[in-house]
Chain A
């Protein structure tokens, strides 16, 4: 396997922005073009595992679309209806996946380069890092609830919904408050309030491939907009 391209996070962000708006108002053919371009872009950037899934969704759409016009069965029609929406978003999801795979540190450096206030950078970095952790916290709480017989889908769950509501939310709230306290302490004792403009250990620079990607993106946008 070849090594993924090394792109500036700003380029990746630009791709997301442009593709995100291009998907509106595109015909199916244009969406297909967008999809293949972003699929190639994703492939070069190391998105490999989820590509087959996206292709499958695309196939699902075409299949259900075909069966819908052949059989006029309501099942296929609604399948086509919903998969069509997902297909519309596929190019954007691909561009997003490339961006998400960027290490948080590099993303931060892009924000730093744009002179965003420190609090915003910290907020962004914290929420980004915390999304997977929040999932783990919720899972752990549900496991304890199961053990103590107050899980969502248990007898108590049906009989005493308020109890379950309370048992699910209170530990989560307490955890969240505690984590915010600890994280704040950690931030403050590491100079997060210093009134100095942040720098970044990652030096981000535009390279040849960045310019190439941007150029191609511009051409694509031009072509698509002209054809409308």
Chain B
């Protein structure tokens, strides 16, 4: 009954959910961008967590609705493509890798898709790895771009880099985002059960 590969229906579903997740992500990033100016970067720590918390239910629904291998990867690639259009081509490589990690989470015993807990876990891992991306990019820029027209700024930037991108901070971002998306997945799963499973729109394995 179930086709192995992604059909048009799955592809369209993934594309639409990707666009919505992207939209929410970028809208919130803007808010957090402003906030981090005000809090001297403090908001960066939680921005990933909040964004993941809100997008995890959508991600979960997408994965469960499509229920086939390849969904996470395609989602991830599309995400990267949209960044490419915004002028950030390296994002495609990063997202292809993240997508593969997400897919790998779903690999064992083939029944991963449609399984709520497994999907939720994959979702959390996926989203938390994803959240490292802005930090990673900034880290590369900060470390490898010889910067500052004035010496003082250069030194300051190096100092601030140390504050924001030491392993502890990055680890903290990862953990916070993981917690955020885990809570999001949990709440999302509850939402899906209440609204979609009961009414027969979605079939899942507990």
Contact = CB atoms under 8 A, between A and B. Distances in A.
Interface of A: 13, 16-17, 19-21, 23-28, 31, 62, 65-66, 68-69, 72, 74, 77-82, 84-85, 88-89, 92-97, 99-100, 119-120, 122-124, 126-128, 130-131, 133-135, 137-138, 162, 165-166, 169-170, 172-174, 176-177, 179-180, 183-184, 187-188, 192-193
Nearest 4 pairs of A and B residues by beta carbon:
A96-B87, A130-B19, A20-B89, A126-B15
Contact of A176 (B16, B37, B81, B147): B16
A28 B87 contact: no
A96 B83 CA distance: 9
Contacts, number: 194
Contact of A68 (B138, B142, B150): B150
A84 B87 contact: no
Interface in B160-196: 160, 187-188, 191, 195-196
Nearest to A165: B187
A24 B141 CA distance: 6
Size category, B interface: 35 or more
8 contacts: A28-B149, A85-B138, A85-B141, A123-B15, A123-B78, A131-B19, A134-B23, A169-B54
Given A78-B160, A176-B17, A20 B150 contact: no
A37 B89 CA distance: 18
B145 to A, nearest CB: 6
Contacts of B6: 119
Contacts of B27: 135, 138
A99 B87 contact: yes
Given A20-B89, A131-B23, A137-B20, A119 B153 contact: no
Contacts of B74: 123
Contacts of A180: 9, 12-13, 16-17
A89 B195 contact: no
Contact of A170 (B11, B36, B151, B191): B191
Contacts of B142: 85
Contact of B24 (A138, A170, A184, A188): A138
A172 B132 CA distance: 27
B8 A122 contact: yes
B86 to A, nearest CB: 4
Interface of B: 6-9, 11-20, 22-24, 27, 36-37, 40-41, 54, 57-58, 61, 65, 74, 78, 81-82, 84-90, 138, 140-142, 144-153, 156-157, 160, 187-188, 191, 195-196, 201
Nearest to A188: B8
B90 A127 contact: no
Contacts of A93: 86-87
B8 A25 contact: no
A40 to B, nearest CB: 16
B56 to A, nearest CB: 10
A119 B58 CA distance: 22
A8 B37 CA distance: 39
A8 to B, nearest CB: 16
A88 B141 contact: yes
A84 B89 contact: no
Nearest to B55: A169
